[in-house]
Amino acid sequence: MHFEDNNFSGGLPSELGFLTKMELMYIYESSVTGPIATELGTLTNLMALDLEWNDLQGLVPSELSHLTALVMLWLNDNDNLTFSLPTELGNLEQLEHLFLQGASINGTISPELTNGWTNLQVLNVSDTLISGTLPTQFCTLPVVDFDCSGSLCGCDCNC
């Protein structure tokens, strides 16, 4: 499913959860508003979920942790998407690319969250409100992008 660069109005319909055989969902730059539908957690064959550059709001549902085939997740540049990363997202063991930059993410990235992310290759958490120390597992990734600041440190950034 490719819906990019549209002028949709409203949120993601819960009926998307009925498309259980879907493998790719690209709904970016489409003016989607509201929360991420928890029903997306039923799309267990989904390998790519791209919701960047919309106006999504609220919390990232822990139901996304059921997307065990997910390889790529883009939630970046949703200014009103505020969340702490649910530790359940550590179940995404196939995850290789995670883009969260520009989202109003709060809290820390706990080491427990990252234990399942053994395939992670790319992490971008720049321009977020994440604080604390980046887990050392991320320092060896091929691509890691974050703002070295007084609130977020680790790898080559001194606390």
What is d(CA 156, CA 118) in angstroms, rounded to the nearest whole number?
A: 21
What are the helix (H) ranges across 55-103? none
Structural domains of the chain sorted by starting position, each given as residue range(s) with its CATH number in brackets: 2-153 (3.80.10.10)
| Closest-CA residue to 55 (of 26, 79, 73, 83) | 79
* pLDDT by 10s per residue, the chain, length 159: 989 888 888 899 999 999 999 999 999 999 999 999 999 999 999 999 999 999 998 888 889 999 999 999 999 998 787 767 778 888 999 999 999 888 777 677 777 777 788 899 999 988 887 778 888 888 888 998 888 876 788 888 876
What is d(CA 145, CA 158) in angstroms, rounded to the nearest whole number?
A: 15
What is the predicted pLDDT for the residue at 26?
96
Q: What pTM, to 2 d.p., does this model score?
A: 0.90
Indicate the SS3 state at residue 15. helix
Strands 82-83 and 33-34: unpaired
| Closest-CA residue to 92 (of 113, 61, 123) | 113
What is d(CA 109, CA 26) in angstroms, rounded to the nearest whole number?
A: 26
